[in-house]
Amino acid sequence: MIEKFFTEAVLVGIIASGIRLATPYLYASIGETFGQRSGVLNLGVEGQMLLGAFAAFYVSLTTGNLWFGLLAAMLTGLIMGLGMAFVSINLQAVQGISGIGFYLFGLGLSDLLFQKLMGTVVTVSGFRPIYFPVLSDLPIVGQIFFNHNILVYGAYAMVFVAWFVLNKTTLGLKIKAVGESPEAADSLGVSVSKIRYLTISFGGMMSGIAGASLSIALLNVFQQNMTSGLGFIAVALVYFGGWRPIAVMGGALLFSMVNSLQLWVQVLNIPIPSDFAVMMPYVLTIIALVVTVQRVRPPSALTKPFERGH
């Protein structure tokens, strides 16, 4: 039975589709990583993604320009992120709850706008896979790495940008300082709220792009609740990666590849009940963490509002 997996088509399929499936998780998780590194937990990622997905889709549909759509998604995510930042920083609301509130808001509003502005499911011609001369035609490698659309590459690029910013720049240092010890950062003249505004609105923008990557690049449709829990998985992956962008990418790839593997399990008619196949990525993600026994601890100030003078 197991030998069915070791054919070229299957292995290439699993890896290529894993790389593709990881895209929305990557954008959202990297954005969330910045927020959490600066001490803010945003559970509203899913809502931001849904609104981003709708904005991208609707603007692309009406203007015929995918880049305008992408821009709309970024703006929408940014606005949602600013809202979350205002509520968490200025109003010091409990982050776990306000995130759930923003999730519900995004879930409802994206659906409402969809019903009022579009009314029915339609398709849009989204970003196409990029053709790289020579490279795309290579056997195996071409199919795995050189047959994706621009937003897929963008997601992986962002991982390395995030790694660089967090580890090699002063801004990264400030973000981490604000997340570890806001009092100390503040006494050194770093504005805690400015940094947090920056990271959370950036996170919102990234969630918006994550939504766009679904609605105008990977799926090219919009439907109510189309993210279907993806945003929560993205938050979980931040913990999987221990707040380190490269490790977050590892988690996203693991989760997505196991997900595409379980699809193959069913397609190859391997006699496992489909329910157990669907379970696989969730189970394996936990097992992977158990086996590797991590020693990271969360940013000390995570979920704690900061107020000067206390």
Partner 1 sequence: MEKWLRSESVSKLADALLPVFAALAALAVGALMLLVLGANPFEAFGALLDGAFGSANSLADTVVKATPLLLIGLGICISFRGNVINIGGEGQMIIGALLATALGLAFPDWPGIVMIPLAMLAGFVGGAFWGGIPGALKAYFNVNEILSTIMMNAIAVQLMNFLLSGPMIDPVQAAKASQIPQTARLSTSFDLPRLIPTRLHLGAGIAVLLAILVYILLWRTTIGYRIRAVGQNRFASRYAGIDVKRQIVLALLLSGAFAGLAGAIQVFGINHRMITDGSATGFTGNAGFNGIVAALFGQLNPIGTIPAAFFFGALLVGANKLQRVMQVPSALITTINGLVVVFVVSSEKWRKTREQKRLTDMMAEIDGDPPPNPEKAVKEVGS
Partner 2 sequence: MKKIQKTLAMLLLVVLMISACGGAENEATVVEVPADIFKVAVVMPSAINDLAFSQSMYDALLAIQADTGADSFEIVYSEGMFIVDDAAAAIRDYASQGFDLVIAHGSQYGSSLQEIAPDFLETSFAWGTTVDTFGLPNIFAYEARAEEGGYVNGVMATMLSESAVIGVVGPIETGDAKLYVDGFAVGAAATDAGTEVNTNWIGSFSDVALASEAAQTHIGAGADVLTGTAQMVVGAIGAAEENGALWFGTQSSQSSLAPSIVVANQVYRWEVVLEDMIDLIHGGTYGGQSFEITLANGGLVIEFNGDYALPADVQSAADATIAGIIDGSISVFP
DSSP-based helix, strand, coil % in the chain, nearest 5: 75, 0, 25
Which amino acid does the sequence have at 263?
A: L
The entry of partner 1, partner 2, none that residue 210 binds, CB within 5 to 8 Å by partner kind:
none
- For partner 1 (CB under 8 A), the number of binding residues is 56
By CB under 8 A, tell whether 236 contacts partner 1: yes
By CB under 8 A, tell whether 115 contacts partner 2: yes
Tell the residue number behind the tokens 């030998």, with chain if given: 3
Give the chain's radius of gyration (CA, Å). Answer: 20
Rounded to a whole number of angstroms, the minimum distance from the CB of residue 85 to partner 1 is 12
Smallest CA-to-CA distance from 52 within 93, 24, 32, 30 is with 24
* Contact predicate 208/77, CB 8 Å: yes
Rounded to a whole number of angstroms, the minimum distance from the CB of residue 242 to partner 1 is 8
* Given 218, 234, 247, 248, the residue binding partner 2 (CB under 8 A): 218
Which among 24-32, 168-176, 208-216, 275-283 is the span making contact with partner 1, rule CB under 8 A? 275-283
DSSP 88: I
Which among 71-79, 91-99, 117-125, 295-303 is the span making contact with partner 2, rule CB under 8 A? 117-125
By CB under 8 A, tell whether 49 contacts partner 1: no
The site map against partner 1 for 195-234 (x = CB under 8 A) is: -----------------------------x----x--xx-
Query: Using CA atoms, how far apart are residues 265 and 271, in angstroms rounded to an integer?
Result: 8
Which is it for the CA torsion 19, 24, 30, 32, positive or negative? Answer: negative
By CB under 8 A, tell whether 100 contacts partner 1: yes
The entry of partner 1, partner 2, none that residue 120 binds, CB within 5 to 8 Å by partner kind:
partner 2
By CB under 8 A, tell whether 170 contacts partner 2: no
* Given 56, 227, 255, 299, the residue binding partner 2 (CB under 8 A): 227
Rounded to a whole number of angstroms, the minimum distance from the CB of residue 52 to partner 2 is 14
End-to-end CA distance of the chain: 63
Phi first, then psi, for residue 221 (nearest 5°) are -140, 165
Would you state the structure tokens that stand for residue 27, as one six-digit string?
Answer: 């954008």
Which amino acid does the sequence have at 254?
A: L
By CB under 8 A, tell whether 263 contacts partner 2: yes
* Given 2, 91, 116, 120, the residue binding partner 2 (CB under 8 A): 120
107 Cα distance to chain centroid:
16
By CB under 8 A, tell whether 298 contacts partner 1: yes
Residues 6+ apart with CB under 8 A from 206: 27, 28, 30, 31, 32, 34, 77, 158
**40: helix, coil or strand?**
coil
Residues 6+ apart with CB under 8 A from 184: 177
By CB under 8 A, tell whether 176 contacts partner 2: no
Binding interface with partner 2 (CB under 8 A) = 9-10, 12-13, 17, 20-21, 24, 111, 115, 119-123, 214, 218-221, 223-230, 259-260, 263-264, 266-269, 274-275, 278
Binding interface with partner 1 (CB under 8 A) = 47, 83, 87, 91-98, 100-109, 111-112, 114-116, 224, 229, 232-233, 235-237, 239-240, 273, 275-276, 278-279, 282-283, 285-286, 289-290, 293-296, 298, 302-305, 310
